Amino acid sequence: MKLADQTVTVFTQELASSAPVPGGGGASALAAAIGIALGDMVGELTVGKKKYADVEEEVRQLMARAQALRERFLAFIDGDAEAFAPLAKAYGIPKDDPNRDEIMENALKVACGVPMDIMRACGEALDIIAEFAAKGSKLAISDAGCGAILCKAAMQAASLNVFINTKSMKDRGCAQELESEANALLAKYTVMGDDIFNLVSDKIRG
């Protein structure tokens, strides 16, 4: 069974176990899937309302993007587990094996792939949720705020899975390229996540 198809109970039990997967990457993807689902919920509570007729088409387009993004995040849960498998295996190679360094380097690069994809997708999610917060039903604005915070946290969590692997890379050029992109995403979207939260909080709390 795919990790994404497990019950919440089973998934969190495995997450809490000593098993190598699911881990931080899969957990990040799940958090982001929940976050963008909350954004989509805002859309569902907006369309069909006369008060929001002028933005209905825009909201429907945002919903379609959100739904596609949610599917991507769910796929990343298992994708991250598959990408981590070669690295878990590489750590078991004897240190005197002449091929160990090359195998480890390749495995580290592969292991960075899905967390970077999660980070990029979290940026897309926050762009979408910002629109939901601005144009969606005011009765559901708290859901946009919740979704933004979850996607922000998912991006931050995924970044740690990038940095722990780039730290061990011998190819410093590749490592620095990945770190530079990750840092740029964090710099832009952690601020956006906080801005959405503050906007929502101010509107709710008056």
CB contact at 8 A, 82 and 115? no
Q: What is the pLDDT of residues 33-59, one digit of tens each?
A: 999 999 999 999 999 999 999 999 999
Look at residue 126 and tell me whether its pLDDT is greater than 80: yes
Number of Cβ within a 10 Å radius of residue 145: 23
Task: Give how far the C-alpha of residue 10 lies from the chain's centroid of Cα atoms, to the nearest Å.
Answer: 21
CB contact at 8 A, 115 and 159? yes
Among 100, 114, 149, 95, CA closest to 24: 114
How far is residue 125's CA from residue 127's CA, in Å, rounded to a whole number?
5
Residue type for position 63: M
Residue 61 pLDDT level (bands cut at 50, 70, 90): very high
Q: What is the pLDDT of residues 128-148, one digit of tens each?
A: 999 999 999 999 999 999 999
How far is residue 144's CA from residue 154's CA, in Å, rounded to a whole number?
15
pLDDT value of residue 26:
96
Q: What is the pLDDT of residues 152-165, one digit of tens each?
A: 999 999 999 999 99
Residue 1 pLDDT level (bands cut at 50, 70, 90): confident
Is the Cα dihedral 145, 150, 151, 156 positive or negative? positive
Residue 149 pLDDT level (bands cut at 50, 70, 90): very high
Query: Domain 22-205 class?
Result: mainly alpha
How far is residue 113's CA from residue 170's CA, in Å, rounded to a whole number?
17
pLDDT value of residue 46:
97
pLDDT value of residue 52:
96
Look at residue 206 and tell me whether its pLDDT is greater than 80: no
Distances from the Cα of 106 to the Cα of 64, 73, 98, 161, angstroms: 36, 24, 14, 16
Query: If you average pLDDT over residues 94-115, what whole number do you get?
Result: 94
pLDDT value of residue 20:
86
Residue 185 pLDDT level (bands cut at 50, 70, 90): very high
Q: What is the mean pLDDT of the chain?
A: 96
